[in-house]
Structure 1
Amino acid sequence: MQVYRVGGAVRDRLLERPISEIDWVVVGATAEQMRELGYRPVGADFPVFLHPHTGEEYALARTERKSGRGYGGFTFYASPDVSLEDDLIRRDLTINAMAEDDHGTVIDPHGGQRDLAARLLRHVSPAFAEDPLRVLRVARFAARYAPLGFTVAPETLALMRQLSESGELDALTPERSWKEISRALLEPRPDVFIQVLRDCGALKVLLPEIDALFGVPQPAAHHPEIDTGVHVLSVLRQCAEHHQPLTVRWACLLHDVGKGLTAEADWPRHIAHEQRGLRLIRAINERSKAPKDCQELALLVGEYHTHGHRALELKASTLLELLQHFDVYRRPQRFEEFIAACEMDARGRLGLEQRDYPQADYLRGAMQAARAVAVQPLLEQGFKGSQLGEALKLERLKALKAYKKTLEM
C-alpha cells in the first residue's frame, strides 16, 4: 500500500501558491483494508475515504471507461493492481496529473512540470474529450491562472471545440454547470473564463444570450470599446479587481443581455434594453439554477442599472420608487450590491476604468435618508394599515427632497 499526494496540491506547491486542500491517492489497497484502518467511505461511484483524523480525502487508484453521455457516463474500476500511472492518465490536464511521495519526489509521467514552466493548460490524453465537464474546468483554470500567464494549448482548445460541437454539453446537469460557472466567476480573471468558452464554441451552447452580445455595437460616446461583449468582459474584470461577491458578478454578466435583442437597424442605440432583457435574465436564471440571491440581484440590476447611472438626475419620487423596489428598509445589503454592480458597469469601459462614480455615495446617502424616517411618530398620530404606508411614503419623499436640496446648496 502506497500513498501519494496528487493533483492540485502538487501543482500549487510547484507554483508556490497557497494549498487549500490535499487530495491523496492510495495504490495497492482494497476498500476493506481502508475500512480496517479506520478510513470512512464516502464515495458513491468509486471508493473515496475520509482519513480518521484529518478528514482529508483518500481515493483508491482507479481507471475509468466511457459508458454513456455526460459527466456521469463513466464506469470506474478500482483494484490493488491499478498503478499510479494508470490513475494519473485519466486526469484532465498535465499540470493536474502529477503525484508526490512522502519524500517530496514528484512523479510526472505526462509532462506537467514542463507545462507549468511553459504556462500551458494541456490535456493528458485523447480521453479528455469524453467528459464535457472538462470544457468548463479548463476555462475555469484559465481564469485562475491567467495572471501567471497561463493559456490553453491549441490542441486542447481544439478538443474543447470538438466537445462543444458534439452535443455532449447538453448532457451536463444545471447543478454541475452552475458549480463550475460560479467558481469560475470568483476566480481572478472571470473574463478569461467567458472568453475561453467563446473561443471553443461552448458559450453559444451554455450561455447563448451572452455569446450573442459579441459584435453588437454601442454608442462610442458612452462605450469607447464599442462591442457589447467586450464591455461585459471588461465589467467582469472590474468585478474581480474590486473583489465583488458572486451575486454582483452574476448580475454584471447578465446586465446587458437585452442589447442582444436590438434590431441591427437600430444599432448602436439600445432603447429599452433594460426591460427587453428581463425575460432573457429570467430564462438564464431558471436554466442555470442560480441561487435565489443571484437571481434576484441579476433581475434588479438588469432593470435598473441605467437608473443607477442617472441617479444624480432622478426626481425624488423616482428615487423613492427605486429604493422601494429594492426594499432597502429590510434589505439594505442588496441595494449596496446594486450600487457596486452599477459602478463596475461604469468602470468596465475602455479607458474609463479609473473614473470616479459619484452616484455610489449619492445613492447610499439617499438610502440612509429614506431609512432614517421613523415610523413611531406616525403611529402616535393614529395612522395604521394602508394609511400608515401612504404617510410613511410621503415622509420618505420629503426626506429625499430635503436630501437633494442639501446637496444642491
Structure 2
Amino acid sequence: MPGRYLLMSLVAVLICCGIHAQEEYALEAFRITANAPVTVTLSHAAQTQKPMYRPPAGDWKPLDARQQEGALSFVLPADAVGETLVLLTQPDWLTLPDGDAPQLAAARIGGVAVTPEGSSITCGAVAAPPAIELTVADAQNPILHSRVSVQLNGMPIEDSGGRVLLQPADTGRSLAISVLPGELLEDRYIVSVSVPDASPARNTLVATVSFSTAPLLRNGGFEAVSADGKPENWSVGSWGGSEPGAYKMSVAEGQGRSGNALCLQGISGRINMVVGQPVDMVAGSTYILSGYAKGDGVGYASLIAADTGDGKQQYDNTGRTAASADWQPFAWELKPQPGKKDYTIYLRNASVGTVYFDDLRLDMKPQ
C-alpha cells in the first residue's frame, strides 16, 4: 500500500536481579513504528498472558492477540500510529503504568555525604575522589542493573582505568553504585551515570557528578604568558568613562616574588583596570583568595556572578591592599551566593598608581 510502512524491532531482554537465589525477571517487548494499522504475525510465539500496548500518546491498553497453531497474531490498533510499545505478557513483578525513571536517593563523594540537586551533584574543586557512591531507587519496578553505564567526560570510565561496582538490593528496586575513577590528571570532570528501570519503556535516570581536580585559580603566579604578552587563563579589560585616562597592564617579567608578577599601572586620569578568570565555585561555601601585593596604588578583587533568575547579579568587592614597596600577604574571603552562575574573580586597580600581584591561590575554606 503506497505511503504505508512498518518498522518493528524485537527487544527480548532477560533481566537478572539479585533477589534471593538470583531469581530472573524476563520481559519480551516490541517497539513497533507504523503509519497505519497493520497486522503482525509472530511464528513460534510462547503463550501470552494479558498482552498490552502503549500508543505514542496514551496509557497502556489491552491488546487483542490471538494464537493459532503456534503463531501469534494481532492487529495494531488505529491509535498506535508512530512508535508503539507492545508487551506480550505482563509478569507479576511488573507494575504498569510506569512513566517515572529511577531516582537518586543518596550520594557520597570521597566518603562524605552530599545532597543532590535533583539528579546533579556539583563538587567544585576537590582532590580526585577515590569513590563516588550513589544509591538509586525506583518506586515501581526493578532496576535494570545489567544496563547501567558510567562515562567520564563522555567516554566509558573503563577507558581511563576506572571501575564500577554494583550492589542491587533484595527487592531489585534499589541499587548501590560505586564509581572508582582511578588516577586523574588535573582537569575538569563530569561523571555521567545512566540507570534504566526494567519496564518496557526503559525509563532512565541520568545522574551527573561534576568536579575539578585542577587548581581553582590557574596561573596564579603569572608565569605562563601568551604571545601577546598577556597572562594565560586571564582576561584583560578596562574602562574610564567619557574621558578615560592612561594606563598599562602587563606581566612584569622577573619582578615577582619568584619569577613574574602582574602589573596594573594607572598613569593618569580616570581608569578602572581589571584582570579576570572564571572559577568553579559552590554556592554557599566560603573561599579564601590569597596572595601577595605591593606598590603605591590601591589594589583589590571582585567576585562577580550572573543571576539564574530575575534577580541581580552578585558583585562583591574585597578589602584593599596597603601601599608598600615590599611584598605584603593578603587573604580575602569570597562567598558565592546561591542562585548564581558563571562566577568570575577580577583583580583590580581603579586609581593612579601601580599595583603588583603575585602567587595567588583560591581555596575552599574548611567548614
TM-score by length of 2: 0.23
| Structure with the higher helix share, 1 or 2 | 1
Structure with greater contact order relative to length (CA < 8 Å, sep ≥ 6): 2
Q: Which of the two has higher C-alpha Rg?
A: 2
**Higher normalized strand content (fraction of residues):** 2
- Give TM-score scaled by structure 1 length: 0.21
